[in-house]
Amino acid sequence: MQKWIEILPMQYGMPTLIENKTLNDNIVLCKELGLNFIELNMNFPEYQIDKLEQTSDFYQAADEAGIYYTIHLDENLNIADFNPFVREAYLETVRKTIQVAKKFVELKNKYGEENQPLTINMHMHHGIYITLPDRKVQMYERDFAIYMEYFKIFRNSCEKWIGESDIKIAIENTEGFRDYEKKVIDYLLDSPCFVLTWNIGHSKATGEKDVPFIQGRKQKLKHFHIHDGSENPPKNHLALGDGEIDLADRINLAKECNARCVLETKTIEALRKSVKWIHKKKVAFICVHNSCRSQIAEALGKHLAGDVFESYSAGTETKPQINQDAVRIMKEL
pLDDT digits (tens, 9 = 90+) for 146-175: 999 999 999 999 999 999 999 999 999 998
Mean local confidence (pLDDT), 126-144: 95
Q: Strands, E, within the chain: which ranges?
A: 12-15, 37-41, 68-72, 118-123, 129-131, 136-138, 167-172, 194-199, 221-226, 228-230, 235-238, 260-263, 281-287, 309-315
Q: Could you tell me the CA-to-CA distances from 77 to 38, 50, 87, 228, 274 in Å, in that order?
A: 21, 16, 9, 26, 29
Task: Look at residue 283 and tell me whether its pLDDT is greater than 80.
Answer: no
Task: Look at residue 4 and tell me whether its pLDDT is greater than 50.
Answer: no
Which residues fall within 8 angstroms of residue 148, CB to CB, at 6 or more apart? 183, 184, 187
Task: Answer whether 137's CB lies under 8 Å from 129's CB.
Answer: yes
Confidence of residue 331 (pLDDT cuts 50, 70, 90): confident
What is the pLDDT at residue 286? Answer: 79
Task: Look at residue 253 and tell me whether its pLDDT is greater than 90.
Answer: yes
Return mean pLDDT, the chain: 91
Task: Answer whether 58's CB lies under 8 Å from 23's CB.
Answer: yes
Task: Look at residue 309 and tell me whether its pLDDT is greater than 80.
Answer: no
Task: Look at residue 3 and tell me whether its pLDDT is greater than 50.
Answer: no
Q: Which of the residue ranges 2-11, 59-68, 218-227, 272-281 would you say has the lowest mean pLDDT?
A: 2-11
Task: Look at residue 2 and tell me whether its pLDDT is greater than 60.
Answer: no
Q: Could you tell me the CA-to-CA distances from 285 to 46, 280, 295, 310 in Å, in that order?
A: 48, 16, 8, 11
What is the pLDDT at residue 317? Answer: 67
Task: Look at residue 284 and tell me whether its pLDDT is greater than 90.
Answer: no
Start-to-end CA distance of the chain, whole Å, equals 20
What is the pLDDT at residue 8? Answer: 43
Question: pTM of the full predicted structure?
Answer: 0.85
316-324: long-range pairs with CB below 8 Å, 24+: 316/286, 316/288, 317/288, 317/289, 318/1, 318/289, 318/290, 318/291, 319/289, 319/290, 319/291, 321/291, 322/1, 322/291, 322/292, 322/295, 323/289, 323/291, 323/292, 323/295
Please tell me whether residue 140 adopts helix, strand or coil conformation. helix
269: number of Cβ within 10 Å: 11
Q: Select the more confidently predicted residue: 156 or 328.
A: 156
| C-alpha–C-alpha distance, residues 145 and 140, integer Å | 9
Task: Look at residue 305 and tell me whether its pLDDT is greater than 70.
Answer: no
Beta bridge mates, 235: 230
Q: What is the pLDDT of residues 113-128, one digit of tens each?
A: 999 999 999 999 999 9
Torsion of CA 161, 165, 170, 171, to 10 degrees: 30
Cα angle 129, 131, 132 (rounded to 5 degrees) comes to 135
Which residues fall within 8 angstroms of residue 67, CB to CB, at 6 or more apart? 27, 30, 31, 35, 36, 37, 38, 107, 111
Amino acid present at 162: I
Task: Look at residue 223 and tell me whether its pLDDT is greater than 50.
Answer: yes
Task: Answer whether 131's CB lies under 8 Å from 167's CB.
Answer: no
Task: Look at residue 5 and tell me whether its pLDDT is greater than 60.
Answer: no
Mean local confidence (pLDDT), 245-251: 94
Mean local confidence (pLDDT), 94-106: 98
| Percent above pLDDT 70 for the chain | 89
